[in-house]
Structures are given as C-alpha cells and as structure tokens.
Amino acid sequence: MGFNCVRLTWATYMYTRPNYSSLSVEESLKNFSLQDALAGIAKNNPTFLNLTVTEARKVVVNELGAKNIMVVLDNHVSQPQWCCGYDDGNGFFGDALFDPVEWLQGLGTVAELYKDSPNVVAMSMRNELRGPHQNTNEWYQYITLGAEAIHRGNPSLLVIVSGLSYATDLSFLKEKPLALNFANKLVYEAHWYSFHHPWQMWLSQTNILCATITRDFMDNSAFVISENNPPVPLFLSEFGVDQRGGNEADNRYLSCLLAFIAEYDLDWALWTLQGSYILREGVVELEEVYGMFDANWDRVRNSTIQQRLQFVKQVIQDPNSTYPTYSKLYHPQSGLCAQFGNDNIHAIGCQNLVSWKPQVKGFLIQLKGRSGCLMAVGDGHPPIFSSDCEKQTTLWKLVSTSRLHIATRDEQGVYLCLELNSSDLMILTKKCLCLDEDGVDVPDCADNPERQWFKFIPTNKS
C-alpha cells in the first residue's frame, strides 16, 4: 500500500488502572466471550495470549519498527470504548471519564514507556476534544500541561495538539498562540470529513461546497501553516470515505480534499486500516466500511482509492531540496497527473513528469524546456501546443469558486475547461460544467464537475 506510518490509538485506563493494565490478551477476550477471536490468535499468534494488553501493544509497535513503519501514539479515550459521542464522558477535561490528573499520568507513562522504540515519532495528546463543557481556558491550561508531560517523558517526540469541536477548530490560536517552552516539537492536528454538510449539497452544489469547506478548513485549522508566526506544521490526522464506492458525496469530497492536501503537501492519516472490529458497540465482527481492507481483511476494499492516494503519499515540497520549484498538473478525481507526449496531453502517474509553467492570471500554460503554449482548438478536442501565444484560446484562467476549473474562451467566447476523458485518459477541452457563461458557479447543477477539476501543484522534487 505504500504507507510509512500508523496512527495507533490507546486508552488512558490501559496505563493508569491495574484492572486494565494487568489484563492478559486471553483474559480480555474471554471477558467479552470472543471465542472466535481467541481461537484465531491461538492459531496465528499464540505468544500474544499470555501478554498483558500493554505488552502486546508494544510488541506490535516494535514489529512495525522492524518493518520501518513509524508510529504516532494517539490518546483516543480514557475508558476503552468506541469514540466519539458528543456527551459520552470522554470528550473534555473534567468530564465523567476524563480526569485531567489521570490523563497527565497516562501521557507521561506512555511517553516514558516508548523511549526505546525509535519508530515512535510522536504522541497525540487527545482525540477530538468536544462536548458541552469544552472551553478555551481549560484547553490552554491542560494542553500546556499535557505537552510538558510528554516532553518530560520523552524529549525526542513530536507533540501533536488538537483543537476543539472534534478537532475542527484551532481558530482561537489567532488571538492567543500556545506558549510552550520547547522548540521544534509542536505539531497541530485537524480532522476533515464530508458528513459535516448535507450530502445533497455535494450532488447539487459541488463547486460551491468544495470552495466553502476548503475556506473553512483554512480559516479554522490550516492557517497555522501560513499565518502563525512562526508557522507550525499541521497533521491532517483523520479523513476518510465510505470505501464501498457508492457514496457520491464522499467521492466528491475526496477530490476536493486531495487537491488541498497536494497543494500544501500536508502529512495525513487515513481513517482507517481495519475492515472490521473484533467487537464494537456490542456487535461482534462489525464491518468498517471506511476500512482499506474488506471485512475479512484478505483484500483491499477499493483499489481505485489506493490509486488516488499515490501522489499525496509522496514528498511534494522538500524543505531541503535545492531543485527549483515547478508545477505538476494534478487531477484529484483520478489521482493522476498530466503528461505531454505524442502531440497530446494524457494522464498518468505523477512521478517523473514534465514540468508545467503556469502563470498567475490570464496565464499561458507552458512546459519547462519547450517553446510554445497550450491552445484550445474546440469543444471535445485535445488542446495542442502552439507557437502562436497571442490568441485568446491560449490564455487560461481559474474559474468557479472551487478554483479547480482551468478554462479558456474559444473563438466564440464560450468557456472551455480542461477535462479528463476516463475511457482513454486523454485530456480534452469541453464546455465547462456547472458554470454560467461568465465562468460563475450556477446555484444548482445535476452534473458532476470532478472530471474537470485540475490543480497546478508546486513541487521541488527532482
């Protein structure tokens, strides 16, 4: 699959309460009458049965290290249970199951415990702070103490900090930055899913909603990478979709999100790996439709999604590179990039491609090392490279509020947009979808504009 890191969740009580920490794997499974799981582990990993649950977890972490897989330890809940109800007692400091003193004890214990595991690179303080009691005053108080507890226990770790409202709101940092006494270890995290908006909007207002959620994510979370002084890295520690493929709202949201991830080269974690759960909310072997594996864990559930993720798994903007910045022309719906060859433009994987040279407004689209510019020749035809760069059909612009349509006007003044033809992966120019004659989003549109979504992605990778 090509992943290099696992975000591994843990519960505070596993490390602070003996009735959890001393429990063996076998005892834990028997407590819930999980005989099939017990038999499976006895057959495939029998040495695990006599380990405590915390010992077993460390064996897993060390095995990931042996495979050169990094680990982020994520404090998900206090009491082991499914997360995350708005008022489930696990949501905010002082809630029924969230004693801040016990939480700090757990953070320090876990940080110290994994000192000898070099593949453990970070700890996330708490997943999705939320609920009726959340407030910024206690957030600053306890997040500062939590960061110090982790840093004291293991100074080599990155300390990952989430905001409020299910890890969707860090905006209060604009008024009052978090003051920590250690440098270059702070990372903020955010979550981004489609279900915060009605699914019908994704089907009828795709461009408008993509623009809205992108702006909201930048305003509430991603501003930390550009507006902070100094900037702080942002980890998109959860996003995900129904990997059965039939949720059209999820499919369109994913294209919008991937365009943003690629543009800013965000580090990210996809929810989720598991195709099913031994036990979740009282249901044995409950299927996880967001899982990359199927319910039996024996095949990848959706190979198309895996392809779409390939580009954003790469380092796109290398801070240590001396190679000059250029652009790749990325199509997030397919996960492919534009390549020029045999006098046409087609989409292939995004490694080792030609260097595009877009300019800012009313721009020419050129190739590094090649004269001429991209010209539209008509609706339904592939664009060509022309030496005549004075014509209207060679001047391109970003239209729609999504900023993902790249368009030019034909000789009759009609906007034509770049579009990927899925049958042969050729890139054509077609009448722009879901836009009026001025290139403005129409308020309601039955078409899916994703096939016309392209993004110039800056990169300095040689």
- 186 and 259 belong to one structural domain: yes
Half-sphere exposure of 116 (CA within 13 A, CB side): 3
- In total, how many domains does the chain have? 2
Residue 320 lies in a domain: no
Range with lowest mean pLDDT among 332-346, 353-367, 372-386, 440-454:
353-367
Quick: pLDDT tens for 132-158. 999 999 999 999 999 999 999 999 999
Residue 436 lies in a domain: yes
d(CA 139, CA 170): 11
Distance (Å) of CA 208 to CA 329, 381, 415: 22, 27, 18
Residue 30 lies in a domain: yes
Quick: pLDDT tens for 60-85. 999 999 999 999 999 999 999 999 99
The b/e string for 307-343 (b: 16+ C-beta within 10 A; e otherwise) is ebbebbeeebeeeeeeeeebbbbbbbbbbbbbbbeee
d(CA 432, CA 446): 13
Domain that holds residue 397: 326-459
Beta strands 186-191; 344-348: pairing state: unpaired
- 337 and 230 belong to one structural domain: no
Give me the pLDDT at residue 352, please: 66
Residue 319 lies in a domain: no
Average pLDDT, the chain: 95
Domain stop point among 265, 284, 313: 313
pTM metric for this prediction? 0.96
Give me the pLDDT at residue 252, please: 98
Please, which pLDDT band fits residue 258 given cuts at 50, 70 and 90? Answer: very high
Residue 405 lies in a domain: yes
Residue 321 lies in a domain: no
Domain stop point among 313, 345, 378: 313
- 266 and 404 belong to one structural domain: no
- 283 and 355 belong to one structural domain: no
Please, which pLDDT band fits residue 412 given cuts at 50, 70 and 90? Answer: very high
Cβ partners under 8 Å of residue 77, min gap 6? 9, 11, 12, 83, 84, 90, 97, 127
- 238 and 270 belong to one structural domain: yes
What are the counts of helices (DSSP H) followed by strands (DSSP E) for the chain?
A: 12, 21
Give me the pLDDT at residue 343, please: 80
Amino acid at 427: I
Per-residue pLDDT for 355 more than 90? no
- 220 and 259 belong to one structural domain: yes
Residue 295 lies in a domain: yes
Quick: pLDDT tens for 279-299. 999 999 999 999 999 999 999
Average of per-residue pLDDT across 425-453: 97
Give me the pLDDT at residue 356, please: 82
- 352 and 266 belong to one structural domain: no
Per-residue pLDDT for 230 more than 70? yes
Give me the pLDDT at residue 181, please: 83
- 15 and 101 belong to one structural domain: yes
Residue 367: give its domain's CATH number. Answer: 2.80.10.50
Please, which pLDDT band fits residue 29 given cuts at 50, 70 and 90? Answer: very high
- 361 and 437 belong to one structural domain: yes
Give me the pLDDT at residue 151, please: 97
Give me the pLDDT at residue 341, please: 83
- 69 and 175 belong to one structural domain: yes
Give me the pLDDT at residue 455, please: 96
The SS3 of residue 180 is coil
Give me the pLDDT at residue 371, please: 85
Residue 297: give its domain's CATH number. Answer: 3.20.20.80
Give me the pLDDT at residue 354, please: 66
- 217 and 100 belong to one structural domain: yes
Q: How far from chain centre, in Å, is Cα 265?
A: 10
Cα three-residue angle 422-428-433, rounded to 5 degrees: 80
Give me the pLDDT at residue 353, please: 65
- 128 and 36 belong to one structural domain: yes
Residue 222 lies in a domain: yes
Average of per-residue pLDDT across 39-57: 97
d(CA 143, CA 125): 8
Give me the pLDDT at residue 142, please: 99
The b/e string for 148-180 (b: 16+ C-beta within 10 A; e otherwise) is bbbbebbeebbbbbbbbbbbbbbbbbeeeebee
Task: Tell me the DSSP string of 112-155.
Answer: HHTTT-TTEEEEE--S---STT--HHHHHHHHHHHHHHHHHH-T
Distance (Å) of CA 138 to CA 103, 133, 423: 14, 10, 55
Give me the pLDDT at residue 172, please: 98
d(CA 272, CA 260): 20
Domain stop point among 313, 338, 364: 313
